[in-house]
Structure formats: C-alpha cells, structure tokens
Amino acid sequence: MNHTKTWNRAVRTLAGAATAIGLGLFTLASAWAQKPEPVTIRWGGTPSVELETPFYVAVAKGYFEEEGIKVGSPMMGPGPRVREALAAGDIDFADVGTLTYIVGRGKGLPQKLVFEYYTREIFSILVPAKLKNEIKTVADLKGRKVLVNALGAASHVAGLSFVRRSGLKDTDVSFVGVGAGGDPATWVATMETGKFDAGITWEPTTTLLIDRNSAFALVDIRDPATHEKLIAKNASSMTLAVSETLIAQRPEVIQRVVRALKKATAFIQKNSPAEVAKATVAGGFKMDEALLARILQPIKGNFSADGRISRSGIEVEVELGLAAKILDKKLRFEDMVDPKFAGSKD
C-alpha cells in the first residue's frame, strides 16, 4: 500500500473541504456585511412632481429598504417650512427647491446639498382665463396680485426674477403666499376664487389649471426655448439638503440614501412615463396615475440620470437669487454642495 499517495489524497480532500467551508463562511460573512444596519430617517418635502417623483419611486421599488433605510411618514409643506424643519432638527433630509435652500444658506444655515433631482427650473406663470385680453406680457402684471407658494419660497424668488426681467420693480407686483404647503387642490381652488391675477405654478398645478380651462400660461417654462431664453439651458432647481451635523456624524446614512435615490433616477430614465407614474403613485404620491403619466411625458428627461450636482446649474440658481435680491453676495459651489455622496459635474 502506497501510504504517501493515500496521505496526499487525504490532505487534498481535507484542503478541499476546508476551502469549501471557508468559501461558505466568506459568502455568509459577505451577506452579513452587505446587509446594512436598519435605520429610520425623517423626511420632508413639497408636493411637486418635479421634486418628489424620485423619492416616491424609491419608496415603491424598495430601494430605501435595500439600503436598510426606513422612512417615516414624510412631512410635506412649503419650502421654507421644510428648510426650517431641517434647521431645527425635526427632519433629517429635506427635498427643497434650490432657490429656497439658497435663502437659508445666505442667512448662514449650516446645510448642504447632496443630490440633484431635476435639471431645469420648474416655475411657470399662469393667468386666470378671464384675464386673457388684459394680461399678455409679464409687464402687464403691474399693480396685480400674484400667488406664490410662500413668501421666500422658490416660487416667490422665481416670480421676482420674472418681474425684474420684464422691467418691473419688486413693488410693482404684490406677491401673496397661498399658505397651503403647495397642496395642488388648494392651489387650484385659490386660483379659481378670482382674487388673484396670476400664479407662479409648477406641476401638477400647472397642468391641472390648464386642463380645467381655469388659466393659461403667460410663461410656460416647460417649453425648452422659453426656459433657455428666461433662465438658461439647464438649472439645478430641485435638490436634497442635509445638515452639516449629519454629514459629520452619519455620512454612511447619507450615502445609503443617495444610493437609493440613484436607483430611482435610473428607473425614471429607463422606463416609460406610465411605468414611472405607476411607481410614484404606488409609493404614496397622491395623484391620478393617468394624469401623472401625461405630466411626465414631456418632462421625464429633465430628471437627473444619476443625482450628480451640476456646477453650472447651481451657478444659474445663484444668479437667479442675486437677481431677486435674496442674496447679498454670491455663494460659491463649495459653500453649498458636498459632492462626495452623489458626485458633481461640469
């Protein structure tokens, strides 16, 4: 009997078994390592198709869950309220219009942007249908009442920008906050009271008012040519803000949230408006699915493909803030953006 061969076979067998066990343990350990520790976060935002679609898609498709993130009931309200809730520590993540964020950052709020949702501005000017023969240009709004989400909100800043570009002074137009947190139904009802001469709107309010023949678009920012003429080719209008404290203390949580949102924006880009609308409504966005699909049809391509924050887009927003005189001095990209989570571009 060849004891040497027998011994070698035994060694090889044991080595193979040990390798198999080791690989099994490695696979199990990897699975444990890949499963992040569950954490519950608090979210805030404003009801807006352009702002909230990625969030609700991430909820519906389980992207947050995949990252071990549990989202409590999101707080929805006007931008300034969401921004201040973040400042007070009442929420951890704030979906905001970048112009709303800029107001707070200009006042020294220690918050930074970590994700870009939308690559165009979203605000149009709608005028009640009964005033079609009276108001034909933005300059015709002189002496008129214009509805915005809230004073200091992104819609207000956009309105100021439109007014100034038309040659009017700030005092030539009376801006009034709707005081409804951007709720579309309240917006439509308020515009239809006849007490206002125009409104700075976004989706779905823009489409709802036009569908009801209640108003017409004096400025339709959804039109690419109009956007480029009045704003720029692109803008970083809808973003995700977090506190500098969260960045310092829990950067891994921010990274997990950003990964979930990247999956959501990739889903939006790859799928049809109908499929995106279905996921958004399934995630909890309160809106008719068919109407949402129709709204998404012309604007779906404006959502960020990967959440990277555009330097040139942020500069456009800063210029709008300066033009509206909500900023005393120019803010730098580095003052506002932490690119280590989603990245940056141009």
pLDDT per residue as tens digits for the range 119-176:
999 999 999 999 999 999 999 999 999 999 888 788 898 999 899 889 999 899 999 9
The residue count of the chain comes to 346
Alpha-carbon distances, residue 319 vs 62, 126, 161, 302, 326 (angstroms): 37, 23, 10, 20, 10
pTM of this structure: 0.85
Mean pLDDT of the chain: 89
Higher pLDDT, 12 or 162: 162
pLDDT band at 9 (very low <50, low <70, confident <90, very high): low
Tell me phi and psi for residue 178, to 5 degrees.
Answer: -70, -30
Q: Which residue has the higher pLDDT, 54 or 346?
A: 54
What is the percent of the chain where pLDDT is above 90? Answer: 76
Q: What pLDDT is stored for residue 157 in this prediction?
A: 86
Q: What are phi and psi of 216, to 5 degrees?
A: -125, 160
